[in-house]
């Protein structure tokens, strides 16, 4: 339920709470009057009549009390639900754009956007140009595969460092984070091209396809060096740090990755 629906529900609960509280106090007043006038009622109406009236007013008071308590609980629950929804919508309204220019990109959001945009294009292309459909699907899948491969490399490096207790090499994870951001920026550029292009136009199809190929190729070049970097880290750990050349090789690949990030990229 959205915020407006929850707001209406909460207002209804406020009204019902007020009514239930008023009824409770009314029955309480009636009960107090009956108790206060018990002698008079017994004298003029008899003990049996008083007993019936006392029982009825007690039952009504208990029912009114239970109803008031229930409405208090419902009021608190609907209020909490409303506050939660407001917080969710407020957080959503302040969410950074997926393809933001400044700051780090969210790989999950970028990959989800690639899937969503790719699906939109692939739903149109088979109808407009069937011959291009499979090729476009293949090249978009290859871009997605580079992001999946990057996730795999990051996980493998983390597991390697964790299992060896290699805290001194934790900065290598930061290097891979930089590689991932580079890949995300490449995909962001592809997404921007897809956003302003139309799958109904052959020229736009050609531009998007070429951009996707360039994106996949640049990402794969970086992934190749990333794999070599992880291998170098592994060999250094296997040597138990005894060989000075091992750490030097790690630094060589680290510098190579940094250079590729700075100099590479599509439309850089």
- Angle subtended at Cα 12 by Cα 10 and Cα 13, rounded to the nearest 5 degrees: 65
- Angle subtended at Cα 75 by Cα 73 and Cα 81, rounded to the nearest 5 degrees: 100
Residue range 115-171, pLDDT digits in tens: 999 999 999 999 888 888 999 999 999 999 999 999 999 999 999 989 888 888 888
Residue range 54-86, pLDDT digits in tens: 899 999 999 999 999 999 999 898 888 888 877
Q: Interhelix angle for 171-196 vs 244-263, to 10°?
A: 20
């Amino acid at each position: 339920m959205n915020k407006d629906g929850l707001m209406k529900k909460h207002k209804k609960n406020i009204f019902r709470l007020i009514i239930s509280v008023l009824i409770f106090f009314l029955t309480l007043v009636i009960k107090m009057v009956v108790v206060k006038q018990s002698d008079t009622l017994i004298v003029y109406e008899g003990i049996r009549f008083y007993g019936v009236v006392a029982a009825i007013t007690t039952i009504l008071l208990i029912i009114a009390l239970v109803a008031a308590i229930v409405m208090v609980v419902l009021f608190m629950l609907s209020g909490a639900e409303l506050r939660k929804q407001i917080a969710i919508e407020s957080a959503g309204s302040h969410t950074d754009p997926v393809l933001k220019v400044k700051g780090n990109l969210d790989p999950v959001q970028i990959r989800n956007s690639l899937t969503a945009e790719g699906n939109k294009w692939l739903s149109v292309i088979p109808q407009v140009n069937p011959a291009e459909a499979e090729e476009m699907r293949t090249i978009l899948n290859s871009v997605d595969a580079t992001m999946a491969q990057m996730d795999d490399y990051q996980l493998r490096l983390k597991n390697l460092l964790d299992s060896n207790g290699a805290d001194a090499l934790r900065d290598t994870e930061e290097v891979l984070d930089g590689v991932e951001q580079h890949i995300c920026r490449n995909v962001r550029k592809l997404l921007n091209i897809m956003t302003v292009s139309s799958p109904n136009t052959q020229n736009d199809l050609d531009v998007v396809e070429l951009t996707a190929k360039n994106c996949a190729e640049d990402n794969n070049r970086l992934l190749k060096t990333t794999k070599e970097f992880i291998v170098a880290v592994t060999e250094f750990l296997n040597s138990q740090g005894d060989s000075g050349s091992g750490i030097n090789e790690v630094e060589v690949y680290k510098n190579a990755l940094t250079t590729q990030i700075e100099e590479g990229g599509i439309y850089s």
